[in-house]
Amino acid sequence: MLEKIRRYVEKWHMIERGDKIVVGVSGGADSICLLFVLLKLQKELLFELLCVHVNHGLRGADADADEEYVKQFCEKYQIPCVVYHENVAWIAKERKQSLEEAGREVRREIFGKTLNQYGGTKIALAHHKNDNVETFFMNVARGTGLKGLGGMHPVNGNMIRPLLAVERGEIERYLQEQQIAFCTDQTNGSDDYTRNRIRNHIVPYFEQEINPKVIAHVGETMEKLREIQCFMEAQTECGYRACTSKTEDGICVRKESFCEIPRVVQPFVLKRVLYEVCHKEKDIEAVHLAILQELWEKQVGKKVNLPYAMEALRTYDGIVCRKKRKEQVREGAKELICENERQQVCRWNGWEIKTRVFEVKDMPKEASEKVYTKWFDYDIITSTVTVRTRESGDYLAIHADGRTQKLKSYFINEKISASERGKIPLIAEKNHILWVVGHRTSSVYRVTEHTKRILEIQINEGEESWQKKSKY
């Protein structure tokens, strides 16, 4: 068995010379075997060992006995050992998790902390073939994708699993041959946990009634599935790069490019997009990916809610996935002072707006080239001029003969997304829009050969990022 594990370690490049490996050891057969095997390989592969034991505070005297055994084992073989005590029952209650899930998270957190504190390079875990097959059945029962079908990987970041090369029976026989004792967790025989029920009933049924080599065969299949997963991950990366771009607050999936990706890869790309937005994937399920797919057929401006306070917005270009925005309190309409040649200043939502009125003969020639400055025929204006965002009934003249268009229709034609429309500053006389800032002015108010007095409106750059992309 030792030789089989050594070949497996070499195949997956688990250990390099000079590594300092943190080994999680409970005292059970699997972890004791892992520690002993690594001890046997240490002189050949030239690495350091550090044993970590976590007392979960769940089994009273039995847990204390396990802790003492691990300490004695490490002392006998001169292996450095660090012991932690955690109240997993309390942690599970605080995190609203099962004892099993909380215990697993606590161990991973401690292993990571120990790795950093003691200058470790790898974390070795004692999962074996049977564990992986149990994981396979659990994932199938719960519903899973390709990743779940592949189970646990031999190498996952800085975590290594040398015992995935062998079955539980091989481990127990090896310990017996080496005359090495181990602790037995009586809770493993209980059916309180899903994994235990699969271990105690499902897998034995397959072995006894269907095929005694089910562990080996399922393990081989999982290995092939992991290879396929690696291939799909590479395809996903290519698809992600081809069809996405970052926006101000999220990631845009461009429809045209997305449709060119093979259909089988598309859900993987969407899941990758959501991960990049929220950096979590546990609760991202097939139903959420289906919702995103359906959004392609929805009208521009349609939103859907997603886990982890995310949302997806249908835009003209495709779909933007982002964290939900906290609604910002924006200033309402503000009157602009348009009286004389003395420049008046108005501040509105981070914008600085300057206005003045002058005779047409005083019109500076170079001003017309300034993108933040617009001129209007002052004598046509009969009411108060305001700066505000859109309101119901807004319109603007877009033709030389004065014909008008609803502002909403203009936004649609210009492919301005619904989420952006409410942020664009408007210079308005009642519902007639003089200037859609960043886009165009009304043809009615333009300066002509008949103009006598000019209203000049100058807007300095505000805080909104969209203006940097505007046409003006």
User: Alpha-carbon distance 32 to 38, whole Å?
Assistant: 10
Residue 326 has what pLDDT? Answer: 66
Q: Which two tokens stand for residue 441?
A: 């002015």
Q: Map residue 226 onto helix, strand or coil.
A: helix
Residue 407 vs residues 293, 349, 394, 444: alpha-carbon distances, Å: 30, 21, 5, 15
Is a pLDDT exceeding 50 seen at residue 463? no
> Topology of 247-323 in CATH?
3.30.465
Is a pLDDT exceeding 50 seen at residue 471? no
353: how many CB neighbours lie within 10 A of its CB?
22
Q: What is the DSSP letter of 256?
A: H
User: Alpha-carbon distance 287 to 385, whole Å?
Assistant: 50
Mean pLDDT confidence for 416-434: 87
- Widest CA span of the chain, in angstroms? 107
Among positive and negative, which fits the CA dihedral 294, 295, 300, 301? positive
**Which of 387, 388, 405 minimizes the C-alpha distance to 396?**
405
Residue 470 has what pLDDT? Answer: 38
User: Alpha-carbon distance 57 to 89, whole Å?
Assistant: 8
Strand order of the β-sheet with 373-377 is 344-348, 351-359, 453-460, 373-377
Mean pLDDT confidence for 210-238: 94
Is a pLDDT exceeding 70 seen at residue 472? no
C-beta of residue 242 within 8 angstroms of C-beta of residue 313: no
Q: What pLDDT digit, counting tens, does each position of 142-187 carry?
A: 888 888 899 999 999 999 999 999 999 999 999 999 999 999 877 7
Among positive and negative, which fits the CA dihedral 314, 319, 324, 327? negative
User: Looking at per-residue confidence, does 69 or 327 come out higher?
Assistant: 69
C-beta of residue 233 within 8 angstroms of C-beta of residue 150: no
pTM: 0.65
User: Alpha-carbon distance 6 to 58, whole Å?
Assistant: 35
Lowest mean pLDDT among 4-13, 128-137, 217-226, 455-464: 455-464
Is a pLDDT exceeding 70 seen at residue 86? yes
Residue 416 has what pLDDT? Answer: 84
Lowest mean pLDDT among 102-116, 121-135, 147-161, 177-191: 177-191
Residue 312 has what pLDDT? Answer: 93
User: Alpha-carbon distance 67 to 78, whole Å?
Assistant: 16
Domain with CATH 3.30.465.60 in the chain: 247-323
Lowest mean pLDDT among 194-198, 248-252, 363-367, 416-420: 363-367
Is a pLDDT exceeding 80 seen at residue 9? yes
**Residue type for position 234:** A
Residue 327 has what pLDDT? Answer: 57
Mean pLDDT confidence for 346-353: 85
Residue 149 has what pLDDT? Answer: 92
Residue 218 has what pLDDT? Answer: 94
pLDDT averaged over every residue in the chain: 88
User: Alpha-carbon distance 168 to 419, whole Å?
Assistant: 57
> Topology of 2-214 in CATH?
Rossmann fold (3.40.50)
Look up tokens 């210009």; give the residue.
Answer: 414
Residue 116 has what pLDDT? Answer: 94
Q: What pLDDT digit, counting tens, does each position of 359-379 carry?
A: 888 777 664 445 578 899 998
C-beta of residue 313 within 8 angstroms of C-beta of residue 299: no
pLDDT band at 328 (very low <50, low <70, confident <90, very high): low
**Which of 188, 269, 200, 280 minimizes the C-alpha distance to 236?**
269
C-alpha angle 431-440-374 in degrees, rounded to nearest 5: 90
User: Alpha-carbon distance 56 to 63, whole Å?
Assistant: 8
Helices 29-45 and 2-11: angle between axes, nearest 10 degrees: 70
Looking at the chain, the whole-number percentage of residues with pLDDT higher than 70 is 94
Mean pLDDT highest for which of 221-225, 278-282, 422-426? 221-225
pLDDT band at 438 (very low <50, low <70, confident <90, very high): confident
Domain with CATH 3.40.50.620 in the chain: 2-214
Q: Which two tokens stand for residue 158?
A: 């800085």
Residue 160 has what pLDDT? Answer: 97
Looking at the chain, the whole-number percentage of residues with pLDDT higher than 90 is 58
Residue 372 has what pLDDT? Answer: 75
Q: Which two tokens stand for residue 400?
A: 């030389």
C-beta of residue 35 within 8 angstroms of C-beta of residue 135: no
